[in-house]
């Protein structure tokens, strides 16, 4: 199981939100490159980079941060937040991201996202699914759809998507543990999917439970920044 640390960006700074609430913002470091280098020094290979300004504006904003980290580390970066157009995708991939991370557009404009998959290739996308009670949530988690998570995943596997991460929005940023049962159901139904857990990780024991549940990766943010999981511990792991 691959450990994928997260860096969330507002105004070019490394921050964390609680349950996606911009009013519950905490700045951890004003220089995201320093944070990324610490992850790299700990032996981690990937990075989940989120442009929260872009997510709020509906267009990519912090691509310069991406460009800097991609140019000065060897991390394999997925970048998301505000990717609404093909031009946004090209900016993100052109700035050094290995994967463009998308979520809402796959729900709200399936036709356009399908066009991107054909034009750019499904291997260039990391699909994110925010979930509340097994239903897809969009619009910064404010809006729950009637789309069942399993139907959503099946549809996009058929379109060639290989990697997907799922965040249970009721758990994210609360350090109360991940939704292991949900993830176990997903990996059981879709064993070939490179499935990545996200949200709620509070300690090393959660990582053991997620690996046991069949997750191929896990995105960790707040647990690292709040000292619940140390980089020294991650360095020792042989994932």
- Could you give the residue numbers annotated as active site? 8, 130
SS3 of 229, please? coil
Report how far residue 234's alpha carbon sits from residue 131's, in angstroms, rounded to the nearest whole number: 27
User: What is the spatial distance between Cα 14 and Cα 50, in angstroms, rounded to a whole number?
Assistant: 10
C-alpha 45: how far from chain center? 15
DSSP 239: -
142, β-bridge pairs: none
Q: 3-class DSSP state for residue 84?
A: coil
Of 140, 222, 217, which Cα lies nearest the Cα of 186? 217
Question: Could you give the CA distance from residue 47 to residue 221 in angstroms, rounded to a whole number?
Answer: 10
Report the length, in residues, of the chain.
239
Q: What distance in Å separates the CA atoms of residue 206 and residue 79, rounded to the nearest whole number?
A: 25
């Amino acid at each position: 199981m691959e450990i994928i640390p997260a860096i969330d960006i507002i105004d070019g700074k490394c921050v964390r939100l609680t349950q996606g609430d911009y009013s519950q913002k905490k700045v951890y470091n004003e220089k995201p490159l320093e944070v990324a280098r610490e992850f790299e020094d700990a032996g981690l290979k990937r990075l989940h980079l989120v442009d929260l300004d872009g997510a709020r504006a509906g267009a990519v904003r912090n691509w310069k941060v991406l460009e800097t980290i991609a140019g000065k580390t060897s991390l394999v970066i997925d970048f998301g937040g505000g990717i609404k157009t093909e031009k946004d995708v090209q900016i993100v991939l052109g700035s050094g991201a290995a994967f463009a991370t998308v979520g809402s557009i796959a729900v709200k404009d399936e036709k356009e996202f399908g066009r991107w998959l054909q034009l750019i290739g499904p291997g260039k996308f990391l699909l994110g699914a925010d979930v509340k009670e097994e239903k897809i949530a969009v619009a910064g988690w404010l809006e729950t759809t009637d789309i069942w998570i399993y139907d959503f995943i099946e549809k996009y596997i058929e379109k060639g998507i290989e990697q997907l991460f799922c965040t249970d929005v009721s758990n994210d940023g609360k350090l109360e543990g991940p939704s292991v049962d949900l993830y176990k159901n997903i990996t059981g139904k879709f064993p070939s999917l490179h499935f990545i857990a996200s949200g709620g990780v509070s300690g090393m024991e959660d990582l053991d439970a997620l690996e046991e549940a069949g997750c191929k990766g896990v995105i960790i943010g707040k647990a690292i920044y709040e000292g619940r999981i140390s980089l020294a511990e991650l360095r020792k792991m042989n994932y």
